[in-house]
Structure 1
């Protein structure tokens, strides 16, 4: 059947095959009388998640299911630009879920326009950040399409409610009451939320970690890796050239083995509440540390300080779903100027959850042992520092002298019996 020829309007749903989006398909059909086409973004999630996903969508009532291969685009045009900026939300989170949303939304919208759909839908809850991320992207790219957000409309209040509906309708699902985590996976990261994690006093169980080895069980001996970096991107691992996607995949494997990239955090959601999540970003953590190591060598003091400000602003912008904005373009282009200097080699040690920078070098390095040495040198005149310090401290010296003179005058006023305020 050609979707364009069907008389009913069509909604394109961002479909993951999980509990929420599987329930949304029949709900939209029953409550809006629209056809539903499931849109699956392949951004490097597990093959088992994609296996049979089209059949599952159609069994749930979808008219069709389209799978878009976005893996390379995701890494090259979203993950690496973000890593090169150094965006890190609230000092911990490498934004693995947030950075995927603008790409999914854009590809979903483009497909909707291709089949003349009347609207878009997503499975984000009314409590979360993703509803904002999806809908800001939809609106920025085409505000004329209808948006359906079932979690803000339907009578179900929890995933337990959905499980009851699935059981009643004999729809299969891998979720259960005892294992009702919300997981999000792509080539960059995997996150786990919900379940026992909703109590901060509960220790994350083994079920909360999907990729990385428990640090206690990680190899007893460290492993060294040699990264070559050009223009803020890893281009080879241990001498083997790989494209960005394959580089990330390889580093994920190495990092997971050594328990790299695990964080268990409570973050501030955009909607105001706090939430807890276990995030695993092994390859991304290695790349992040390698890029920062080369920046230390190649960027001057003012540039690094400015870049840190850009990184902070970019982290909030990505977290809030404001990717398709002029501000994001501005921050990205500013960072790209710095990235052209960030190239060289880094040797890293991976050991039981730690990324240790052992060596780094670059043709663009501003570090000079001739100037920095504590030994005898012939390039730096230490007497020059005296004039520098006097100029740097000039405003402080003037303030101190002024305060000293004011105190002296106050002593005279008191001795003469004058009221201090009379001098004004």
Structure 2
């Protein structure tokens, strides 16, 4: 039997690699996806080989992740429950896709992952793999084994000579990629307490951020961010740069109660500096270039798109159809937006576009050239007719 394992190099997946070999008498192929996480994938590759992986795939998927997943959500203005930029949620379909592709190339019988039963990721991996290769078996070692305590895990590692990362004193569980970082566990489980400053790793506290604001000009072409302060940057460089400058100004911290798709409420603490800036800029540019009805209706579909991403329905017909809508909308979304970064806030202060629907002659109270004020009385009379009729019937109040 051959199994392809989504391998991070951490404790759980290192144990899982050895456990799969032993439990299923299997050849295990390890797949490490570089999504911009902080972990050293060179160490992960070496550890996978030391633990008996028959082969190891280490792939830089940052560009694909941003262009085909994160930026798709950006142009849809998809933010889960109005706050969460879904860095983890967006990465899982890509990992699932590559697991399937590698499994087919390796003639593997199954794929495996290190997600737990309480989290969303188990569903995202399972749903993605089932949609792309329903014939493949999906194995979740953490939900099958009896290594439920740290003592049992250490004992298993010692008995089977499993190379595992050095234990760290941090009580937190972190998941990172180039689009954002999530933090759970430890003191964060007490929702009555503010997150300790040590939780945050890529953003400064707003209190210690620079006392002078920074203006950043973001350029979009057809809804895709491609320029910062007039300089054209590739997606990876652009997001890394914004993570650095916005994080320095304390932008992108989020602390929310989150409704997981498995039915429980959890506290989610996130850092997403680049995403926070890009969403503010993109939404404001859309407001400049889209007609009122289209801009407002799009918000309804944005909410649904975020729910599909979060709820493991990336590989769904509805998500594909919504993409067609957003692809049409983004043809108008070209221009530049200036965002002021200051003490934890990202505020749009200027915007311009060749597709702008802002018309000074109509909008300005200083201009009388284009707007016929006398038409206002008739318009107001007709617009207020439902309320007038209800008032005459005594149906109001």
TM-score (norm 2): 0.94
The answer for the alignment partner of 2:140 in structure 1 is: 149
The root-mean-square deviation of aligned C-alpha atoms, in Å, is: 1.8
Q: Which residue pairs with 2:238 in the alignment?
A: 247
Distance (whole Å) between structure 1 residues aligned to residue 329 and residue 387 of structure 2: 33
1:37 matches 2:26: no
1:276 alignment counterpart: 267
- How many residue pairs match? The answer is 394
Rounded to whole Å, the distance in 2 between the matches of 1:66 and 1:376 is 64
Query: Cα deviations across residues 112-159 of structure 1 (Å, max 9, x unaligned)?
Result: 100100001111100110011111100110100111012222223356
1:62 corresponds to which residue? 53
CA distance in 1, matches of 2:300, 2:139: 36
CA contact (8 A) 1:37 1:64 kept: yes
Q: Which of 96, 121, 131 is the matching residue for 1:105?
A: 96
Q: In the TM superposition, what is the alpha-carbon distance from 1:199 to its structure 2 partner?
A: 1.6
Find the counterpart in structure 1 of residue 18 from structure 2. 26
2:71 match: secondary structure: helix
- 1:80-124: per-residue Cα shift (whole Å, max 9, x none)? 111010011111100010000000110111011001000011111
CA distance in 1, matches of 2:129, 2:206: 41
Q: 185, 195, 207: which is aligned to 1:194?
A: 185
CA distance in 2 between counterparts of 1:92 and 1:134 reads 23
SS of 2:165's equivalent in the other structure is coil
Against the structure 1 CA distance between its residues 148 and 331, is the aligned structure 2 distance closer, same or farther, given a 3 Å change threshold? same
**CA distance, structure 1, for counterparts of residue 97 and residue 162 of structure 2:** 34
My pick for the range that moved more, 133-142 or 383-392, is 383-392
Deviation digits for residues 39-74 of structure 1 (CA, Å, limit 9, x no counterpart): 11111223x421321111122332221112211111
SS at match of 2:69: helix
Report if aligned partners of 1:101, 1:134 keep a CA contact under 8 Å in 2.
yes
Deviation at 1:175? Answer: 3.6
SS of the residue corresponding to residue 52 of structure 1 reads: helix
Residue 314 in 1 paired to residue 321 in 2? no
Distance 1:13 1:190 in 2: 23
Segments of 5+ residues of structure 1 without an aligned counterpart are 1-8, 405-424
Partner of 1:379: 370
Tell whether 2:346 aligns with 1:326.
no
User: 1:170 & 1:40 partners in 2: Cα distance?
Assistant: 18
Q: CA deviation at 1:179?
A: 1.6
Q: Distance in 1 between matches of 2:50 and 2:191?
A: 38
Q: Spell out, residue by residue over 1:186-241, the C-alpha distance to the aligned partner (whole angstroms, 9 max, x if none).
A: 11111111122112133322331121122222112111122221111111111211
1:61-140 aligned at under 5 Å gives the runs: 61-140=52-131
SS at match of 1:98: helix
- Aligned 8 A contact 1:228 1:343 in 2: yes
SS at 1:99's partner residue?
helix
Larger Rg, first or second structure (1 or 2): 1
